[in-house]
Chains A and B, each alone.
Chain A
């Protein structure tokens, strides 16, 4: 793969990459803590993954193999676009296979396959501040993090239980990292939260518009907030995948007509294809 000679490797200049790496190192040193960084204007719009792209650009090397997913799928338009961007400006090899990738940039999902120590998972983050719905002022939430003053979030979850009988948050479900910092897992379904706990892969989070980076080092404790009598419960559609039959993967609902027809399929397209292939091989 040849890269566009008009741009530095992976688009950003080397001093910018170094600045981002320093923010990442600080993030790794203080798991779950949001590190402000000098996010650059990128050639993709804010909200499309500019934070994740900058993190990927800072950590990727010529020998890396990149996988990009959006909603769990490699063929979603934005994933296709970001993959093409890195092919163009970094010339790196890309893959759709989770097992083959060394860097995986994701929006809204964690792959179903367990990740390894040799992989980095880069999350695109729209709102890094887990408390923003409860306290919109960043100066104030910064103070709350410093004091580990997370009562507000516990009260919010308690109010959910009082009102609905259960916690009514189904995605972007807040987590405690390393027993210290409250963190937004990005808008992944709560179903994916348990995969973050003690994950062997390094997890990096980039928020471009909000100019924050944070990280979860390998094998770090990540606990979804809950109560003893109301334990955390991940949500998934109670069906089997129409294509591969999986009963344990996260499913997308696909409408097939306007008379109520619908099917459920794995959101992780690589996982689904792998299962279909092994089923065919077994037959």
Chain B
């Protein structure tokens, strides 16, 4: 006799136990610690921080461990934690010009004040698997250290702006919008767009940014500058009335320099595409800067025909926690709706068969 499937609770319990066991893997091998992930899989941790939009490397590392290395799942875990935190105000704008720099490169000048600082980069490595890393070994030789250069490292876009060659951004007095508190509305202003992009999926933005380089959107980008390092966060508590430093966070900033041929009211000059992400995330910061500039098409009087230039398309689809939720929800039971579809298709087939017979 048929018995309807029950016992969902028991099945879920068993599945979770199996998940925990699979997460641990072979128990004969040592368990990986969140601290090890934080130290040795630092770029995964940084990506989770950026897409989880919560600057906490320890929590991000824990999320990576809990998610078995699924970085979108990890970002989701971090977001779900972040949402429980109280929000007590907005910080002062970060002064990335005063960043404690680990890496700083410009593609537009061969040399410039502050110099080119390669930092810890894959850029000029040859992608040949290093089989020595497969075996545990001694820590690498310490990297050579230079004396820190006390000279300031001005931002390239500022140097261009001093010559009038770079469009300046309007300073905004108002507190920027916050997508985590207010839903997206269109037209979305630039701070909100940038927030959405900063939280957005690296892969999605990468693909969109790439499309602008291949003719889908009229991009002529140069990397004015990428800088990676630590920058102080300042906050003015209302009861004090002056700014205090809360601490340093690690960020990556990319400023893309783009051609703008001028309009009736503005002379030809360069315009900015801006990217800023938590941690060390150059690919994301660069893609973000490309997409930011593409989304300015309407503001700059450019024809907006490509996907990357459509604010609704980009902003509604760049969030990977939202996207993964809706795509993956398709595996939830849908049999009630499907039953009505079954009946519907059967009816239409019957009608079609009857019509064919006549």
Contact = CB atoms under 8 A, between A and B. Distances in A.
Nearest to A42: B127
Contacts of A258: 113, 152, 154, 158-159, 162
A136 B214 contact: yes
Contact of B118 (A77, A132, A260): A77
Interface stretch (A78-86, A109-117, A198-206, A238-246): A78-86
B53 to A, nearest CB: 28
Interface in A151-202: 163-164, 168
B216 interface: yes
Helix, strand, loop or mixed for chain B's interface?
A: loop
B16 interface: no
Contacts of B109: 252-255
A127 B152 CA distance: 37
Interface in B156-183: 158-159, 162-163
Interface string A85-118: 1001000000000000000000000000000000
A135 interface: yes
Given A77-B124, A258-B154, A127 B214 contact: yes
A71 B124 contact: no
Nearest to A78: B124
Nearest to B106: A255
Contacts of B349: none
B163 A260 contact: yes
Contact of B111 (A45, A85, A254): A254
A257 interface: yes
A43 interface: yes
Contact-size category for B: 20 to 34
Interface string A35-50: 0000000111100000
B162 A257 contact: no
B261 A163 contact: yes
Contacts, number: 59
A136 B216 contact: yes
B128 interface: yes
Nearest to B111: A254
Contact of A43 (B118, B128, B216): B128
Contacts of A81: 124, 126
Interface string B195-236: 000000000000000000111101000000000000000000
B126 A71 contact: no
B261 A255 contact: no
Contacts of A260: 162-163
Contact of A77 (B123, B163, B213, B268): B123
Contact of B215 (A136, A254, A256): A136
A134 B110 CA distance: 31
A143 interface: no
B25 to A, nearest CB: 30
B112 interface: yes
Interface string A244-283: 0000000011111110100001000000000000000000
A85 B163 contact: no
A176 to B, nearest CB: 21
Given A164-B261, A260-B162, A255 B111 contact: yes
B110 A254 contact: yes
Contacts of A132: 214-215
8 contacts: A43-B126, A43-B128, A77-B124, A84-B126, A134-B215, A135-B215, A136-B216, A252-B110
Interface of B: 109-113, 118, 123-124, 126-128, 152, 154, 158-159, 162-163, 213-216, 218, 261, 268, 306
Given A84-B126, A260-B162, 15 more contacts: A43-B127, A44-B126, A44-B127, A73-B110, A81-B124, A81-B126, A88-B126, A127-B213, A132-B215, A136-B306, A252-B110, A255-B111, A255-B112, A258-B154, A260-B163
